[in-house]
Amino acid sequence: MQLRVVAYNVRGFRQGLGLVVRVVERLQPDVLLLNESGGRLRLRRFARAVAMELAPDPWSPLRRHVENAVLVRPPWVVVEHRLHRFEGGPLLLPRGALVARLERDGLRLLAVATHLGLHPGERLRNARELVGLPARRDGAVVLGGDLNETPERRAAGLLAERFDDAWIAAGDGVGETFPASDPTARIDYVFVSEGIEVGCARVASDEGVRRASDHRPLVVELAMSERG
């Protein structure tokens, strides 16, 4: 089964919700992994506008919002989802991973949207937690988001040891995603587990993308085996 996954840091829709909607409508992802997903009301408006089911960070009266989300396009459905908060992060800028269990036509997929910390030590701790999140029973896994570091750094390397880096598998060029106006760094990633084949990977680059956020979206075409 073919599957298009997009990893996208949308900067809280601060450039304008409509700009991000138009980018996503052009890309037509089956699974959208969002970072800096903004406030809950605006995120729900965005999900309705792009006609995708939303798995957001669950509301908590005692903790600050972690701005990751997974969205899926029918016939994919969200069976369940949860937030994993990384340990030891800053209280005012918490980091974590939104973990969503998806299904379609008997296939299962664990989708993880994550955004790592700003400092190298924090990112490495985050990555160590990430590699332990999927269990064997979860089946196929796609994990993506803004790692805040380039591929030669330790957190990105640790994830690449556990999963296949989609850009390394099938990207063309260096895959730089940040800043959107003139990218100089590859800091946005999609990783996949066994049972998923990467067909191609590209960074969207039209004028609308340059205006919608400070990151460019990473677009990955995947094929899942029937055992996924």
Q: How many domains does the chain have?
A: 1
Confidence (pTM): 0.95
pLDDT tens digits along 73-104: 999 999 999 999 998 877 777 899 999 999 99
CA distance 55 to 40: 11
Residue carrying structure tokens 């790592």: 116
- Residue 152 pLDDT > 70, yes or no? yes
Most confident of 130-134, 137-141, 212-216: 212-216
- The CATH number for 129's domain is 3.60.10.10
Q: In this predicted structure, what is the pLDDT of residue 228?
A: 43
Work out the burial of residue 5: count CB atoms within 10 Å of its CB; fewer than 13 is exposed, 13-18 middle, 19 or more buried. buried
Of 3-12, 80-89, 162-171, 195-204, the least confident: 80-89
In this prediction, residues 180-205 reach a mean pLDDT of 96
**Order of strands across the sheet with 2-9?**
53-56, 68-72, 31-35, 2-9, 218-224, 196-203
Q: Which are the contacts of 129, defined by CB distance < 8 A and separation ≥ 6?
A: 84, 86, 87, 97
Of 38-52, 54-68, 100-114, 174-188, the least confident: 54-68
Q: Which residues of 35-70 are buried (b: 16+ CB within 10 A; e: fewer)?
A: bbbbebeebeebbeebebebbbbeeeeeeebbbbbb
Q: Both tokens of residue 43?
A: 């995120």
For residue 30, give its domain range. Answer: 2-224
Distance in Å from the first CA to the final CA of the chain? 9
Four-point Cα dihedral 112, 118, 119, 120, nearest 10: 40
Work out the burial of residue 182: count CB atoms within 10 Å of its CB; fewer than 13 is exposed, 13-18 middle, 19 or more buried. exposed
